[in-house]
Amino acid sequence: MNLRALLNALVGKQDSKDIAKERLRLVLVHDRASVSPEFLDKIKEELIRVISTYMEIDEENTQINMHRTDGTAVLEANLAIKAIRRTV
Amino acid sequence: MGEVIVITSGKGGVGKTTSVANLGVGLALLGKKVALIDADIGLRNLDVVMGLENRIVYDLVDVVEGRCRSKQALIRDKRYDTLFLLPAAQTRDKNAVTPEQMKVLCSELKEEFDFVLVDCPAGIEQGFRNAIAGADRALIVTTPEVSAVRDADRIIGLLEAAELGDPRLIINRLRPDMVKRGDMMDIEDILEILAIDLIGVIPDDERIIISTNRGEPVVTSENGAMSGQAYRNIVRRVVGEDVPFLELHKNSSIFNKLKKMMGLGG
Ligand SMILES: Nc1ncnc2c1ncn2[C@@H]1O[C@H](COP(=O)(O)OP(=O)(O)O)[C@@H](O)[C@H]1O
Ligand SMILES: [Mg+2]
């Protein structure tokens, strides 16, 4: 924290640039989370490819979603397992 | 074989055209052979910023539609022997050109020129896709404002999707006085948010407007304009030199000394 921020904190004031930065951060979380279905399909494909080394995945019953809660975005993957491979 | 660089931003009015003009002239002053393409079809502007508006015969659409060869449409800037401008069409719309046609044009010009700079229109529609189609790399212009940085972020995503990786950032119209009093986002703030590499910072400078009035990009100014120096530095970074960043706000005030003494430097 610099001196200005310290003084601001004492008088309960916030620099306008910090407000700008905070607003940007939030709006970008939203912007970046509104991704296209193709993008999600790509993630799904890759996830399955990686995990397939360890277990057999039921692609039909696999869902990937991205959603936002205030301030953060969550990537949610539900992968249905058909079988688990013996560890190599 | 030359290199095609697109200058883009998402938001309008942040300094794309000004940057293309200054980088173009700056590169020509280094002896590079440079072609500037105004891809802002319907809103031709680069010609007036360069002071070449009276010399236009053919335009970009004439070239891609085969009414003339690119050589005939390229206007030579008499002040700098190795600098050429391909103006935008003024009376057509952005759909008059396709990304495929731009690719062909860019690869043709690359054979002849060291650098081809493409001035991108605002927005993320066809005009944007045209402008980036033939590019080897991208420079993104933003100003230290929420809307401009937000749009830059969007553009970075679209460039990634188009596999035009590793864009570099120009922060334009920075006001050190406002940064100092906490009323403008600083360079670090913007870089932290966008997470891309910086290629230069241009201060907000009335001399840009004065030189644009004259049709003479500020990069040529020898009266110590900070913005001219800033553009010259970007030019050298574009050609691969390692140039230290300008100190736009010198840490010399009593306030800063005091801060340092107190270990509060920020
Ligand atoms: N660093 C700067 N300082 C002062 N004025 C600037 C600066 N950069 C650009 N401008 C002015 O801002 C306006 C918009 O710039 P322009 O290059 O046309 O933006 P764009 O091509 O992105 O729409 C112009 O009038 C230009 O002279
Ligand atoms: Mg423009």
Give the model's pLDDT for residue A73.
66
Cα separation of B77 and B19, whole Å?
17
> Which residues constitute the domain of residue A63?
3-84
- Which among A20, A21, A31 has CB closest to B153? A31
CA distance B246 to B229: 9
How far apart, in Å, are the Cα atoms of B132 and each of A3, A17, B9, B96, B161? 44, 32, 12, 16, 12
- Angstrom distance (rounded) from CA A50 to CA A37: 20
Does A15 contact chain B (CB < 8 Å)? yes
pTM of structure = 0.83
What does the DSSP assignment read for B115-131? EEEEEPPSSSSHHHHHH
All domains of chain B in start order, with CATH: 3-261 (3.40.50.300)
Instruction: State the residue for tokens 């430097």.
Output: B265
Q: Specify the number of domains making up chain A.
A: 1
Mean residue pLDDT of chain B comes to 93
Query: For atom 10 of ligand 1, which residue has the closest CA?
Result: B15
- Quote the tokens at residue B244: 């230290």
Q: How many other CB atoms are found less than 10 A from the CB of residue A53?
A: 8
What is the distance between the alpha carbons of residues B125 and A69, in angstroms, rounded to a whole number? 30
The predicted pLDDT at position B266 comes to 39
Q: Which range, A55-64, B225-234, B242-251, has the best average confidence (pLDDT)?
A: B225-234
Residue nearest to atom 23 of ligand 1 (CA): B13
Residues B184, A17: C-beta atoms closer than 8 Å: yes
DSSP B96-119: GS-HHHHHHHHHHHHHH-SEEEEE
Q: What is the pLDDT of residue B142?
A: 98
The residues lining ligand 1, judged by C-beta closer than 6 Å to any ligand atom, are: B 9, 12-18, 172-173, 202, 204-205, 208-209, 212, 227
Residue B147: which pLDDT band, with cuts at 50, 70 and 90?
very high
Are B128 and B156 in contact, with CB atoms under 8 Å apart? Answer: no
Contact B264 A6 (CB under 8 A): yes
Q: Closest Cα of chain B to A86: distance in Å? A: 37
Whether the CB of B259 is below 8 Å from some CB of chain A: the reply is yes
Helices and strands in chain B, H and E counts: 12, 8
pLDDT of res. B265: 40
Least confident range from A20-29, A32-41, B87-96: namely A32-41
Which residue in the block uniquely carries the two structure tokens 């809660």? A69
CB contact under 8 A, B183 and A23: no
Interchain contact, A32 vs B258, CB within 8 Å = no
